[in-house]
Structure 1
Amino acid sequence: MVPRYARLSGAAALALIMAGCASVPERPVAEAPPAAGDAFRAGASAEAVSADWWTGFNDPVLAGLVDASLEASPALRAADFSVAEAEAALRLALLGASPTASSRAGITAARPTGSTADRINVSATGTLAASWEFDAFGRIAALVEAARFDTAASRELRRDIAVTLASETALAYINLRGAEARLEVGRRNAETQMEGLELVRTLVDNGRATQLDLEQAETQYRTTLASLPVYEADREAAISRLAALTAAPASAADPLVQQLAATPGLIPSLSAPLSAGTPEELLRRRPDIRIAEAQIGAALALGDAARADLFPRITLNANLLGLVRNTGVALSDESIGFDFGPAISWAGPDLRGVYAGIDVADARTGRVIANYQSTVLDALADAETALTNLASETRRTTDLEAALASARRAHDLARLRYQEGLDSYLNVLDAQRSLLDAEDRLAVNRAETARRAVRAYRSLGGIWTDEELAAFRAGLG
């Protein structure tokens, strides 16, 4: 008669031989990213992007608001929990490579049927089990690697949220200062137009101006007044947005809202040329690209884990069992037992389900590789467009400043010529309208230039690494 251990050894050997005959599909290949080049066409500085780029505007209020948003934002706290969840999943995956132990105990009381005795049989059992999977084909290692990449992706997503928070806070602040600037321009021009209207009224009373002059002056004055509530609404919307970004209630009683409402300021501008780095650095810095890279790594690792299912799993098991009955003997050699030895399990010989799982993993990998290629191309285009838009808006500033200076001189000349009786008041109205338009266009240009600078920094990736973000937030606390 063949011994039992020999039959088990033969079965295990047969499983291993049949598993060795299973063909392993080739894993997908992650293509290299498109060539990024060594400079941006827009011609920005190739110096490395500063992590705290918002300090380049030299505006303490802006810096304080960004600090407050990174410190108190619920969105960033939610990202912290996502990172903690991924790290816990990684620890769980690492436990798969170490031995595990479990225990179980129970007690029963029974009276046999048909028994005339009053005695109740009581028995207690206990089991202590330990097992360890020998990772012969790399399945557990692949799952751990996938969990590591998932953790990296969650950290990059947190950094992406931080970059978005900083840029959205800066944009809301610029919107606030831009609305204040346009409101100030409108009020100042309304005062000038009101003075002109009063002058025309006096001249009409003295017979030196016509009713048409008066109606035209009144129309322009009222039109300017009608624009002021629009700028006031934009200002209040920006304050409410800043309150939300810094986790403050958008109410008049909030100190932040009171401070912003009580202290109008200038539109911030960069004190030095924007530093863009190189396109190659962009690929290593942008969070969305790094997330896509981590997703490729995780997908490839899960594909390796699916391929490992083509082969048997080898597990070493050990069990200690105890049984105690109410026979008067607490423990004896016969009440304690144990067993130990390897166990082999295999999905074969029908491996159709395993191959289907591999196909699913490979299709997922192909998708994330394609997404990565698309993310890289979109990132390069986004950065180039943002830098080009900033450069074009910056070039407009000089001409708009010259136009404003000319409009002021024309306004003074028109008023002088009207007072001397050389021209009609229509020329004064046209000069006032041109002056208002010139001042408003310059205010819009300055705000838009600052906004485009913020968008450029956001397109370049902003904060460099997760470690840098952690150090910055630690300094806030």
Structure 2
Amino acid sequence: MQGGTSAGVQRLRESSQAQPPVFITPEPFGDQTIATLGADFAWEIDLARGSAANARAAGADAEAMLWERRQTEAAVAAQVVRAWLDLARAEQLAHLLRQRLAAMDRMLAIGAKRIAYGAALSADFAPLERLRAETEGELPLLDHAARNAVRRIAVLTGEDPVALAARGLHKGLAQILVTPAALTVHDPRALLRLRPDVQIAEARLIAAFERAGASRAALYPSLSLVARLLWTRRVRCAFRSALQSTGGSSISVRCALASVPPTLPARQPRPSGTGACWSR
């Protein structure tokens, strides 16, 4: 269905030579200002269901765009989870290294007492001192990895990295996160349908089939109903106005230069209950 409006003002001036003036009479063809206001209306009857197919194709395109947005959301959420896992790993490794350093310090304290009493030599504990120095040198790397993970979480979640680090996000994280003893295994087919890229491909396939149906419907004759309403008035003349209306119908036929299959393969309906719980 299509419609439109139009408006215009036209000024006409006829030459006095077109008709000689009569003595002591005004010029019959003076300046004329005509104002027009019109409205058009056209409606094409969807006999072959081409418009309905285009509407379904547009709906499938909108659904594909929705799933593309959800795919971006899932990618951001996955990056946030990965950053959390990297932060937890760095904190747990740093916690284990501190426990090892505490154990080495106790062993070195015992060794210092033995050396003081003459029961051992300093060379006997030199390898342990080197191992402790190497272990202590790994702590700055883990602290840097933890701070980097905090910054990634802040960027992905829209937080201030400095404020998030000052809040103590990683304090006690090694004791909070616990590895689950068992994982729940779901149906692989149901999990596959939860993927946004699969939903995008399915929506685009549906849109392509619907557009093919609309192109096939365009080969059939189409019937259109047209109506026009025009109002004309002469300016400065209160009684010289006219209202005109026209209507009609038209039939158009398109020809194809290539063969078109008589039917299109029907798409399989989606099983209910397998969609992801996404918020619109």
Q: Into which bin does the TM-score normalised by the smaller protein fall?
A: 0.7 to 0.9
Q: Does the Cα contact within 8 Å between 1:174 and 1:267 map onto a contact in 2?
A: no
CA offset digits 1:341-369 (Å, max 9, x no partner): 11233444xx45xx59x89xx9xx9xxx9
> How many Å apart are 1:296 and its aligned residue?
1.1
Q: Which residue of 2 aligns with 1:338?
A: 245
Matched, 1:127 2:38: yes
Secondary structure class of the residue paired with 2:219? coil
Q: TM-score, normalised by structure 1?
A: 0.48
**CA distance 1:464–1:172, change in 2 (3 Å):** farther
Of 215, 225, 232, the match for 1:306 = 215
2:224 partner amino acid:
T
2:9 partner amino acid:
I
> How many Å apart are 1:212 and its aligned residue?
3.5
Q: Which residue of 1 aligns with 2:138?
A: 227
Secondary structure class of the residue paired with 1:224? helix
Q: Which residue of 2 aligns with 1:278?
A: 187
> How many Å apart are 1:327 and its aligned residue?
6.8
Q: TM-score, normalised by structure 2?
A: 0.77
Distance in 2, matches of 1:249 and 1:113, equals: 80
Equivalent runs, 1:288-437 vs 2, <5 Å: 288-326=197-235, 328-332=237-241, 335-348=242-255, 351-352=256-257, 355=258
Secondary structure class of the residue paired with 1:260? coil
Matched, 1:243 2:145: no
Q: Does the Cα contact within 8 Å between 1:317 and 1:341 map onto a contact in 2?
A: yes
Q: Does the Cα contact within 8 Å between 1:149 and 1:295 map onto a contact in 2?
A: yes
**CA distance 1:207–1:109, change in 2 (3 Å):** farther
> How many Å apart are 1:155 and its aligned residue?
3.2
Q: Does the Cα contact within 8 Å between 1:243 and 1:257 map onto a contact in 2?
A: no
Distance in 1, matches of 2:33 and 2:221, equals: 42
Q: Does the Cα contact within 8 Å between 1:156 and 1:291 map onto a contact in 2?
A: yes
2:7 partner amino acid:
A
Q: Which residue of 1 aligns with 2:24?
A: none
Secondary structure class of the residue paired with 2:7? strand
Q: Which residue of 2 aligns with 1:183?
A: 94
Q: Which residue of 2 aligns with 1:139?
A: 50
State the identity as a percent.
Answer: 25
> How many Å apart are 1:100 and its aligned residue?
3.4
**CA distance 1:175–1:268, change in 2 (3 Å):** farther
Structure 1 gaps, min length 5: 1-98, 370-462
- Higher strand fraction (1 or 2): 2
Distance in 1, matches of 2:147 and 2:16, equals: 88
> How many Å apart are 1:250 and its aligned residue?
1.5
Matched, 1:287 2:189: no
Q: Does the Cα contact within 8 Å between 1:173 and 1:238 map onto a contact in 2?
A: yes
Equivalent runs, 1:444-463 vs 2, <5 Å: none
**CA distance 1:188–1:312, change in 2 (3 Å):** same
**CA distance 1:257–1:160, change in 2 (3 Å):** farther
> How many Å apart are 1:114 and its aligned residue?
8.8
Distance in 1, matches of 2:251 and 2:124, equals: 101
Distance in 1, matches of 2:186 and 2:171, equals: 38
Structure 2 gaps, min length 5: 18-26, 268-272
Q: Which residue of 1 aligns with 2:177?
A: 267
Distance in 1, matches of 2:117 and 2:16, equals: 130
Q: Does the Cα contact within 8 Å between 1:159 and 1:465 map onto a contact in 2?
A: no
RMSD: 3.5
Of 82, 89, 93, the match for 1:171 = 82
- Higher helix fraction (1 or 2): 1
Distance in 1, matches of 2:150 and 2:274, equals: 29
**CA distance 1:164–1:327, change in 2 (3 Å):** closer
1:102 partner amino acid:
G
> How many Å apart are 1:157 and its aligned residue?
3.3
Secondary structure class of the residue paired with 1:170? helix
Q: Which residue of 1 aligns with 2:22?
A: none
> How many Å apart are 1:188 and its aligned residue?
1.6
Distance in 1, matches of 2:244 and 2:75, equals: 62
**CA distance 1:266–1:326, change in 2 (3 Å):** closer
CA offset digits 1:98-147 (Å, max 9, x no partner): x33321112234556899x8x64311111111111111222211111111
2:36 partner amino acid:
T
Q: Which residue of 2 aligns with 1:415?
A: none
Q: Which residue of 2 aligns with 1:379?
A: none
**CA distance 1:205–1:263, change in 2 (3 Å):** closer
Distance in 1, matches of 2:53 and 2:98, equals: 67
Q: Does the Cα contact within 8 Å between 1:182 and 1:231 map onto a contact in 2?
A: yes
Q: Which residue of 2 aligns with 1:427?
A: none
